[in-house]
Structure 1
């Protein structure tokens, strides 16, 4: 194990530790973690790796025209649920793709169409679906929109939009001119986000009033942005990627650790 010190002042001198690095050529957009497996994501390709040995067990490659940009995945209940879009093409369209977590066979699609940005991650909590729609200043940006239009949306089980929140200016300043690439509910009940290229993890919470998320903290990590996933089997361990090196990273960020919240539990309380 090797302690990685990255801008420690951001977290009041806290240390981020990377406990493992696994080779995975498909680790270009992000990583997902299940009880026994890791999943490396690269646009229209996904590979499943044995969590213990690092051996590649399965692979999927889709039609690039239909799956131009799978950005992230998460193991939710009995599915590998992935956020997909047509990034960097415009106008943006987004879809949620469901795969078999063992064979990686494609199961179904929920089309979210056009309108509010490019879908970058999906998670499940409190009986609802949570998703983030990215917007950009330059490449991949739609006219009239920039990174400030990045939006967190809560959907019900019929994928109807029930509520949404904007990012705080303190997070927007860190991700500009790009957007949020990864995210998910952490073991302490807070929502954690990553940008496109900074080695930082942003903790946010739902506000007591208004429509802007509260920024609860910024923590250094080795992963330089991209999609992340918390390990429910090992609370406090966060998986990310080393995009340039083609590696999966297992990290222990110096964040608050509380009672784990399971993605598949529809009755998990929403901590503010």
Structure 2
């Protein structure tokens, strides 16, 4: 069951970023605003864009989602949404040059990859399914959304489903963003609600435990804890094309 809200997120700053439509990633000096086929790199202090990557015409990269920076590389969730069957991959960039340097293809499995993160020596990812009706049928059914724990070879180790009380917060959509906090809890978002959902793992796989909902000046989509500045979280306001910086109180 959910609990009373114990946490609060304070807005610290807001930056305009034309690419802020799907998510945001962050490292010590920059944040990376992510659109379906475009990524903008911005100075964290000034908000000035320092680099930009755009998929070439005919590229297989069509629908990027959330991202995370690990050891100088930007990892982004990618899918063929709203195509069917659902196909997913992780796309990788060098953060220095913002050059696309690699991919891991999951193929047709689990659903539509919406976010990926690194935590405790493992990769974590949500493969979303939706109640949204496309071509006359539900796009996977959101009850089939699953969190997957993976090793360094992207092989699955454990999976968790989402409780119905959390799924109901997503409307006809699904889990869009996720980032592990230093408190060992997982922070999730839906598609457009100004909320962040805190969960922890059920033991030995199974179902996530929904702990609380935190109101936040975001509009769902991808989020990222700033691991160079403890307690700071980055999100986006999609309609305004803005990146928001929040502080956990």
Alignment root-mean-square deviation, CA: 1.8
Change (3 A) 1:203 1:15: closer
* Count of matched residue pairs: 245
Cα distance in 2 between the residues matched to 1:82 and 1:140: 25
1:236 aligns to 2:231 (yes or no) = yes
Cα distance in 2 between the residues matched to 1:56 and 1:112: 32
1:97 aligns to 2:91 (yes or no) = yes
Cα distance in 2 between the residues matched to 1:226 and 1:42: 11
How far the C-alpha of 1:94 sits from its partner, in A, is: 0.3
Specify every segment of 5 or more residues in structure 1 that has no aligned partner in the other structure, as ranges.
1-8, 255-272
Show the counterpart of 2:76: 82
C-alpha contact 2:72 2:96 (8 A) present in aligned 1: no
Q: If the length of structure 1 is used for normalisation, what is the TM-score? A: 0.85
Please give the secondary structure, in 2, of the residue aligned with 1:244: helix
Cα distance in 2 between the residues matched to 1:27 and 1:10: 31
Structure 1 segment 27-176 matched on structure 2, within 5 A: 27-63=20-56, 65-139=59-133, 145-176=140-171
1:11-67 C-alpha deviation (Å, 9 max, x unpaired): 26x643111000101101111111000100000100100011111000000136411
Cα distance in 2 between the residues matched to 1:211 and 1:163: 9
Q: If the length of structure 2 is used for normalisation, what is the TM-score? A: 0.93
Show the counterpart of 1:269: none
Specify every segment of 5 or more residues in structure 2 that has no aligned partner in the other structure, as ranges.
none
Cα distance in 1 between the residues matched to 2:200 and 2:39: 31
How far the C-alpha of 1:252 sits from its partner, in A, is: 1.9
Change (3 A) 1:10 1:223: farther
Show the counterpart of 2:192: 197
Q: Which stretches of structure 1, 4 residues or more, deviate above 2 A after TM superposition? A: 139-145
Report the structure, 1 or 2, having the larger strand content.
2
Cα distance in 2 between the residues matched to 1:243 and 1:103: 26
How far the C-alpha of 1:217 sits from its partner, in A, is: 1.2
How far the C-alpha of 1:115 sits from its partner, in A, is: 2.1
Change (3 A) 1:140 1:58: farther
